[in-house]
Structure 1
Amino acid sequence: MTPPQEPVRRRAVPPGGQDGPRLERSGQMWRIRSLETARQVLRARDATFQAGFTAEQIPRGIFRRHPILISDGALHDEQRRSLARLFAPAKVPDRYGSLIEERAERAIASAVARGEVRLDELALHYAVAVTAEVVGLTSSPVPAMARRLEAFFRQPPADYSKPRYGRTRRQQMLAAQRGLLPVLRLYLADVRPALREHRRRQQDDVIGHLLAEGASTADVLVECVTYGTAGMVTTREFIAMASWHLLEHPRLAARYLEAGETERFAILEEILRLEPVVGHLYRRVQAPLTVHDGDTAHELRPGDLVDVDVRAANLDPEAVGDDPGDLCPHRELPRGVAASGLAFGDGAHRCPGAPLALRQTDALLRRLLAAQPELLRAPDIGWDDVIAGYALRDLRIGFPGR
């Protein structure tokens, strides 16, 4: 492909930057910036357990089955296998293609008719609309459900390296309040009506699948929270980020419109490598684990917390080659390294919704760019501690030729 005239470089750089050694240890915490070493940790399925997304604070005793986000080992493998028919890459186009295309068409037609929109808000409602259909939360209006899902991310600051995430007692109470109240509201307004409908009429979606597997109401609720928030926040932010890059680089946008699906997806994955929505992945070591960075071995002990710095690992020149900070969709990568780096994770907890997220983003971007939008305002960049990722807000576009 023809590269843009100016290099396309990373927009979202957190305060404090990302420099540091490839591996470093401080107390019981390891920070890893080597992509290959990070993959070893993420693939050590019996030696490391999920510790991100406040997973270690989620009560487990109330669930008949652990939520897929925090389960590990044989249980997690079983859950992933049983969900394969819903999210396997080969099944996504046939299963969700028409839904995604219809929702994307509706979203962009509405935006063009209005003449000017906040793209991050449009992306939010679009992502929630698609996710609601996939999960089975179709008994309530999308805008109201989007507001309830957004409320999960209004949390006090969190530092995973410190006990109780470094929060004061007051902040812990606030975190519990801001976590539990949105769950209650989502249950009453969205999940309970959906459960009633599913029990009246069997449906082939995530809720239907969970009920068929014997899941309890609490199990269904927490999975709806997991799929709803993950499907909303990651796709929303990536749509906004990819749009921002393409709108500021017209030659890249023109190439995107001309390209076939394979090349479009390559552009999207390269943008995602540069701009991973989830910036850090955390694992708790459960059994002695030896990892290597080149010829150097490192011993991780039970109880250690591992912080995989996704942003830094995705710029590891030993894994992604020269000029790792430039967008290059035809980049040659070593065997086994995903085009998006670690942006969708790796190993047992690699994001099952990755194919769906890429297809959603592509469907909306094709229609958006074809409508010849104008960037009216670049977004503000904020940071979210829950997902250790960026939040783009107030990205405004107009359609002067329509």
Structure 2
Amino acid sequence: MERLGTERPGVWRIRSVGAARQVLRARAETTQAGFTAEWIPKGRLTHHPILISDGPQHDEQRGKVGRFFAPRVVAERYTGSMEACADRLLAGALAAGRCRLDDLALLYSVEVTAEVVGLTDSPVPKMARRLVTFFNQPPFDITRPDLGRTPAQWARAAANGLLPIIRFHLADVRPAIRARRRARRADVVSHLIDEGYSDIEILVECVTYGTAGMVTTREFICMAAWHLLRHDALRERYLVAGEQERFAILNEIIRLEPVVGHLYRRVQQPVTISEGAQSWTLDPGDLVDLCIRAANADPEVVGDSPLELCPGRSLPAGLNQAVLSFGDGAHKCPGQPLAILESDVLLRRLLALDVTVAAEPELGWDDLIAGYFLRGFDLTLAGRKPSTSPDQTLK
């Protein structure tokens, strides 16, 4: 744990699991500061977005919406539609003989997320394009005043952010709200209507769920496929493994490659963080940068060879297989069961085909989610590969 230099006073950087979990669980002392949460206007909203709210309101929101993301609910309610979507998209890719995986994963993740959220009253490809344009933002530095942006960059950020949101509202969210006011369904939008959310508040939540579900799962599917296509033995093991072992493989990949690489908290009340014999006091106003990739490789927690892909690691009791890739504490991502299941459904079908990499993806960085993105991941697809037994795989 370190305090950054004098040019950025009041900024702390944490690279260990223990210290990071203390900050994430300091519920009364810290608040959400990532994803530009502190720059999102909240004055006219009775219900603050779940991603950026804190305290009792956040707890109540999480408790009520959690039922849509419970592992059993996810498996029973959405597996069939995930399989149908994956089969349809891969059938099109097979007919063409190739696909760009980041594009296919976008359509897939948006369709899955749309069903859970309730944005099913507009075409998925058009909605996906609208969601993608929201991320066409100028860079920023969350540790600097005014995010380090120039006035021109702020103007571009407003234009690039607001116009897609308006289009998203008119074309996707408003039709969904109208349909569900007539007849409720088992989805998030119907729940928000029942909770008394206004149309604008529902829009803000849909932006949160839509972009989070689309961006993080899309990138993880591509990253997991990249790992599995580069490691033949792991890929073959994955294809013959049972569900829990496959999930362990995917959680280990996302431990190594967390889509959101940094989480940020703002200190509201003094909080003391301890590690071994050392302790540090964080003061109100301090910004804490939780370096997730580094923390996930903390050898004190994950054991030997922390930078190697080793599914089924022995981890301390109570620690998630993905370590901190889905966060911890009050803001732990509720969508982990959904993300892992939908990734597994598509990857099992994709990797069962005769797949070769036609073009390696280009790796980029998105400041808004403080994480990576992969683009231009081209695959060549032939028919289904001959089946492989577990015994053959391990030889």
> 2:70 is matched with which residue?
88
Q: Which structure would you say has the larger RCO, counting Cα contacts within 8 Å and 6 or more residues apart? A: 1
> 1:233 is matched with which residue?
215
Q: 1:120 aligns with which of 88, 93, 102?
A: 102
Q: How does 1:334-345 map to 2 (within 5 A)?
A: 334-345=316-327
Deviation at 1:318, TM superposition (A): 1.1
**Does the CA-based 8 Å contact 1:42-1:346 persist in structure 2?**
yes
> 1:174 is matched with which residue?
156
Paired AA for residue 102 in structure 2: D
Equivalents in 1 of 2:132, 2:205: separation in Å?
A: 16
Paired AA for residue 76 in structure 2: D
Deviation at 1:214, TM superposition (A): 0.5
- Match of 1:374, SS state, is strand
Whether 2:309 is the aligned partner of 1:330: answer: no
> 1:71 is matched with which residue?
53
Whether 2:2 is the aligned partner of 1:23: answer: yes
Q: 2:350 aligns with which of 368, 372, 386?
A: 368
> 2:193 is matched with which residue?
211
**Does the CA-based 8 Å contact 1:43-1:347 persist in structure 2?**
yes
- Match of 2:273, SS state, is strand
Deviation at 1:336, TM superposition (A): 2.4
Unpaired segments of 5 or more residues in structure 2? 385-395
Deviation at 1:304, TM superposition (A): 0.5
> 1:298 is matched with which residue?
280
Q: 1:386 aligns with which of 345, 368, 371?
A: 368
> 2:390 is matched with which residue?
none
Equivalents in 1 of 2:2, 2:109: separation in Å?
A: 36
Q: How does 1:149-188 map to 2 (within 5 A)?
A: 149-188=131-170
Paired AA for residue 150 in structure 1: V
Equivalents in 1 of 2:33, 2:272: separation in Å?
A: 19
Whether 2:243 is the aligned partner of 1:261: answer: yes
**Does the CA-based 8 Å contact 1:257-1:366 persist in structure 2?**
yes
Unpaired segments of 5 or more residues in structure 1? 1-21
- Match of 2:382, SS state, is coil
**Does the CA-based 8 Å contact 2:94-2:382 persist in structure 1?**
no
- Match of 1:193, SS state, is helix
Deviation at 1:401, TM superposition (A): 4.2
Q: How many residues align?
A: 381
**Does the CA-based 8 Å contact 1:23-1:34 persist in structure 2?**
no
**Does the CA-based 8 Å contact 2:17-2:295 persist in structure 1?**
yes
- Match of 2:71, SS state, is coil
Q: 1:316 aligns with which of 298, 304, 327?
A: 298
> 1:9 is matched with which residue?
none
Paired AA for residue 35 in structure 2: F
Equivalents in 2 of 1:24, 1:338: separation in Å?
A: 27
Paired AA for residue 3 in structure 2: E
Equivalents in 1 of 2:227, 2:99: separation in Å?
A: 17
Deviation at 1:322, TM superposition (A): 1.0
Equivalents in 1 of 2:232, 2:94: separation in Å?
A: 19
| 1:119-163 Cα shifts (integer Å, max 9, x gaps) | 010000000011111111111111110010001111111101101
- Match of 1:328, SS state, is coil
**Does the CA-based 8 Å contact 2:133-2:164 persist in structure 1?**
yes
Paired AA for residue 119 in structure 1: L
Paired AA for residue 353 in structure 1: G
Q: CA RMSD for the aligned pairs?
A: 1.1
